[in-house]
Amino acid sequence: KSVTRLYAQFQPEKYELEIRLDEENMRFSGRVVVAGKKVGRPSQRLTFHANGMKVTSGKIVRRDKKGEAELSLARINHHKSFQEVRLHTESMAYPGEYTVTMEFEGKITDGMTGIYPCYWKDADGKEQKLFATQFESHHAREAFPCIDEPEAKAVFELTLMTQEGVQVLSNTPIAEQGGIKESRSRGVKGASSTSGHLQTTNYRLQTTFQPTPRMSTYLLAFVTGNLHKKSAKTKSGVDVNVWATTVQPAESLDFALDVATRSIEYFEDYFGVPYPLPKADHVALPDFSSGAMENWGLITYRERVLLDYPGQTSQGIREYIALVVAHETSHQWFGNLVTMRWWDDLWLNESFANMMEYQAVDAMFPQWEVWNQFIASEGLAAFRRDATYGVQSVHVDVHHPDEISTLFDGSIVYAKGGRLLNMLKHYIGEAAFRKGLSAYFTQHAYSNTRGDDLWAALSAASRKDVGTFMNPWLQRSGFPVVHVAQTSTDISLSQEHFLDDPSKADATRLWPVPVFANEVNAPEVFDTSQVKWTASKDSPVMVNMGARGHYLVDYQSTNTKKYIEQQVASQQLAEADRLMILNSSAMLARAGHQSYGETLRLLTAYENEASEPVWDII
């Protein structure tokens, strides 16, 4: 059953949000003023998302050319099963401009969504707490009443009231900060006052942040607590900071700071679009359910994904840190500046970032040769998962945000999706790919899109029908095996659906296969069951060079097989090809397309192999 989209009845434009943290009692309270438009039919209620909290008061004011008019509230109802709060009015609310004010309160829980505590111990062994947020995919509604859908973009003006003496971070820089007196009334047994309550004065820290850009609720974030940082500045003047708890050594922040700074510089150049905010904070959290989260301007991480301890951290972990930082930084454009309209296109955010993390890290650290890791890690995971009967496709309809965690198969949505976008980049050429992305970001900045909007931009840049090329790969599970037959200069390619269990393969399924051949007369793409051509010379023809396509290759000519073994043994073939040729042989044998004997004979050609990614598949 599809969830009702609240954006279809109220479209927010700005939130003035105040949140007070009661750290001692693990509670929060606040006030939100939402300016926006009621759309659709007249009704006697306005509905907002709210989950696990209580809205204690509400006020609705209609705004038009004549001025303002308050609508009397009849009642406030909470509907837990729908995660909604409904403000019912005495009179009819017609479409138009409104300001809705709500006061609310709730508990801070350990569930690592909404507002939650992060526990850690300082140098003296004393337990400390940070307070952080995790709003993706639909957990902003656990922190304040809102229209908690990605299409409901708005500007946020956030004020936090916290304990004194802590760092307070959010998406944008601090506009104003200072101590305030806060008088509170609490019941005290034996108090002399007639009310039985005692007035106490607390001193709190009040922090107001600069307004955010127009963005989705799931990207709003804040972190408070005892933190320290290392800072740098990009060539374009963006302030970059890496934060961790004060128990973490300062030098553990250096590597991530270098990667974070250079990632912004790389993507600004690659996309041709400036980083949209004046600062970028990267925060290592002691307790965090995901690997990292791309909150705009305030990216949060597990500590082990951000901190590099000199002399202790392995090369593999350093590479992982660099890839994750680049992944989250790419989201600042793809996902944050331009956001999917609904969660069924969230795959596009993650597939894109999966591919771009390798693009950026390869530019920063070419000696690491991370594209080979991309093929060995992402490629093999995608192939082996995608060969399973009944596995999901990359694009899956999402009826309710609760489904996201169950639908997101990392080997498909991240790994396969990233491989498909890398395949597309090579199909249309990197110059057209960059040109299309720049146009896409410029045209749709601060708004929402569907996958077809990206295909349109890339089609215009490349003069190729990108949607027709990509949709069969994305909207169906699986991939083909391409059989290559050669007699002298006569070449024949045929494709069929590959599965570990061939009896369950779909004999009618075809893909637009980019050939990527070492032969000038080869077709660029074929989407039929078979294609033939005459080669320019009588020498072995190989396809999917560079392992750029998401398909297996079955070479049927004895001469071609011998040629490949010689090229592997002499390491004349690139690492990517050596890796994928062996993987193809093993997967073909497992599915019964050939014998394991052929795979073992091929394996002897790897006797002198020196590549770590190739040894991963061996």
| 575-590 and 558-569 helices, crossing angle to 10° | 130
As a whole number of angstroms, the distance between CA 164 and CA 167 comes to 9
pLDDT, tens digit (0-9, with 9 covering 90-100), for 500-548: 999 999 999 999 999 999 999 999 999 999 999 999 999 999 999 999 9
How many contiguous H segments (helices) and E segments (strands) does the chain have? 15, 28
DSSP structure class, residue 546: G
Q: Is the dihedral of CA 277, 281, 282, 286 positive or negative?
A: negative
Query: What SS3 string covers 346-362?
Result: HHHHHHHHHHHHHHHHH
Residue 197 has pLDDT above 80, yes or no: no
Of the candidates 129, 80, 78, 82, the one whose C-alpha atom is nearest the C-alpha of residue 104 is 78
- What is the pLDDT averaged over residues 98-104? 98
Give the catalytic positions in this structure.
Answer: 328
Measured CA to CA, the distance from residue 552 to residue 537 in angstroms comes to 24
Task: Kindly report the length of the chain.
Answer: 618
Residues 439-451 pLDDT 10s: 999 999 999 999 9
- φ, ψ dihedrals at 251, nearest 5°: -70, -15
Q: Is 23 helix (H, G, I), strand (E, B) or coil?
A: coil
- 3-state SS class at 137: coil
Question: Phi/psi of residue 375, each to 5°?
Answer: -75, -45
Q: What is the pLDDT of residue 409?
A: 82
pLDDT in tens, 32-70: 999 999 999 999 999 999 999 999 999 999 999 889 999
560-607: pLDDT as tens digits: 999 999 999 999 999 999 999 999 999 999 999 999 999 999 999 999
pLDDT in tens, 155-173: 999 999 999 999 999 999 9
The first and second tokens of residue 606, run together, are: 């790897």
- In this prediction, residue 193 has a pLDDT band, given cuts at 50, 70 and 90, of very low
* pLDDT cut 90: percent of the chain above it: 89
d(CA 532, CA 262): 47
Which tens digits make up the pLDDT trace of 374-407?
A: 999 898 999 999 999 999 999 988 888 788 777 7
> For strand 298-302 and strand 279-285, is the pairing parallel, antiparallel, or unpaired?
parallel
222-225 β-sheet, strand order = 114-121, 127-134, 222-225, 167-170
From edge to edge, which strands make up the β-sheet containing 27-38? 67-71, 53-64, 96-107, 27-38, 10-22, 155-162, 197-209, 174-187
Q: CA torsion sign, 580 to 582 to 586 to 589?
A: positive
Instruction: Indicate the pLDDT class of residue 105, thresholds 50, 70 and 90.
Output: very high
Residue 413: CB atoms within 10 Å: 25
CA–CA separation, 394 and 477 (whole Å):
7
Whether pTM exceeds 0.85: yes
CA distance 538 to 387: 34
pLDDT for 192 beyond 50: no
